[in-house]
Amino acid sequence: MRLIIGITMLSVLLPKFALMCLSGLYRHKKISIFTRAYSGQNFERIEHRTITVANRALSDIDTWLLYIQGKVDLVGPRPMNFDAALRVDKETDQRHNVRPGIISPAQVKRTSGIAHVSENELANEFAKNASLLRRTQILVVWALQKLFSTRAQRLLYPPVFKLMDVTIDNLTMKSAVAKIVNGLSDSRKAATVKKYAFVNADCVNKYRSQPQYKNTLKLFDSVFADGIGIKLAARWQDLGVSENVNGTDMFPLLCCELEKQKKSIYLLGGSPSVVKKVASKLNREYPNLQVAGFCDGYQHKQNPAALHELINRSEADLLLVAMGAPQQEQWILDNQEHISVNAAIGVGGLFDFYSETVSRAPEWVRELSLEWIWRLAAQPLDKGKRYLIGNPLFLFNAAVAARKAKQKPISFKTSNVDRG
């Protein structure tokens, strides 16, 4: 199989390669060979040659020769520079257990906007489960990404932009976590509760019909871009979303950071059994994270003062409110004066996913940005209207907004200006 793929690729690339070489020779252009040393499986030294004509690299023939020799795979971690590989911690390194790849898992995740950890962590993660199934999934996702990628256009990535009436903090996941955690002050009773929300296509549909929700979001410190819908709507206005920042992917990174900074959390929302499961799973997975307390999202409705008392007595730094949008954002706004936490985040269905009450889409579905199809299949009655009617409606409104935006000169807001 390897031989067939390798020879097919070489037969496609070689004619162009030969033609460029000959034309370079004929025009007396400078032809050079660059050799780079990479680290292969088990730290084997791999030499990779690139031929350049007048400093322009020709088709990559050597990679396919290395592929035929079995030194690289189609799918695998990006080859690491040999000198850098000598410095890695051999005890914990997993990426060198497998061959480097022509297509890397990190590359696929980056295109989907869900590469939330470092490339090295992604490479190690892949090496732990480099099954044929996982490799095939990555290959298929990569091919589909190539097929559906829109023409290479120059997108702008402003730090903050306004999309369909809401100001989006265009941060990567890492920066969003840093912003939340660094914003937790040392004194428990901060002057104001910092408020964070995630906005996806469904939220946009909701705030278009409920102006109160839109006004609430305007009072939040940061609103993060969640999902393929927002990414598309932004792209239609020539704006790039730095990364898909959603509560479920943020949660493990947030917990690690809170653990390091010795900050505590309070969990509010979900059914009584769900929130309890979340608390016990957190205690198992993050033994050094202080879960200051938890409460379901239903019983407090009759007695908000009792809930304020519970939260305040817990002395939690950060409050996670999982009651679905826009109820959770409204709750944060209405109750902020009565609670003594530093910050609060509306996290939607996070507790249902983390407690494994609702199954999350597999990795390859998320890489294809099709998590919503999974949610629709899992909860067709609950989510049918949201996705089957909501998605086309959102796309229509996004297209209208893009048309309007293109008629106006673009003006970007910076982080410090009025968010209204």
- Residues at the contact surface with ligand UDP, assessed by CB under 6 A: 269-271, 297-298, 322-325, 327, 348-349, 351-352
- Minimum Å gap between C-beta 349 and ligand UDP is 3
Computed over its alpha carbons, how large is the radius of gyration of the chain?
25
In the complex, the smallest distance separating the C-beta of residue 24 from ligand UDP, rounded to whole angstroms, is: 57
Tell me, rounded to whole angstroms, the distance of Cα 252 from its chain centroid: 12
CB of 356 to ligand UDP, least distance (A): 13
Distances in whole angstroms, Cα of residue 191 to Cα of each of 123, 317, 321, 340: 43, 13, 20, 9
Query: Which residue's CB is nearer to ligand UDP, number 100 or number 269?
Result: 269
Which DSSP category does 58 fall into?
-
Question: Shortest Cβ contact with ligand UDP: which residue?
Answer: 297
For residues 68, 70, 73, 76, the Cα torsion angle rounded to the nearest 10 degrees is -150
Classified as helix, coil or strand, 331 is helix
Q: For tokens 């996670």, name the residue.
A: 320
For the bound state, the minimum distance from the C-beta of residue 332 to ligand UDP, rounded and expressed in Å, comes to 13
Identity of the residue, 6 or 297, whose beta carbon is nearer to ligand UDP in the bound complex? 297
- Return the number of the residue (52 or 336) whose C-beta is nearest ligand UDP: 336
Taking the least distance from each CB to ligand UDP, the nearer of 8 and 299 is: 299
Q: Which is nearer to ligand UDP, 327 or 397 (CB)?
A: 327
Rounded least distance, CB 227 to ligand UDP, Å: 10
Q: Identify the CA nearest to 34 among candidates 58, 54, 21, 50.
A: 50
Nearest alpha-carbon partner for 269 in 305, 311, 227, 309:
311
Q: Is the CB of residue 187 less than 8 Å from the CB of residue 343?
A: no
Work out the angle between the directed axes of helices 105-112 and 132-148 (0-180°, nearest 10). Answer: 40
Pick the closer one to ligand UDP by CB: 107 or 369: 369
Query: In angstroms, rounded to a whole number, what is the distance separating the alpha carbons of residues 321 and 96?
Result: 41
Smallest gap, in angstroms, from Cβ of residue 293 to ligand UDP?
15
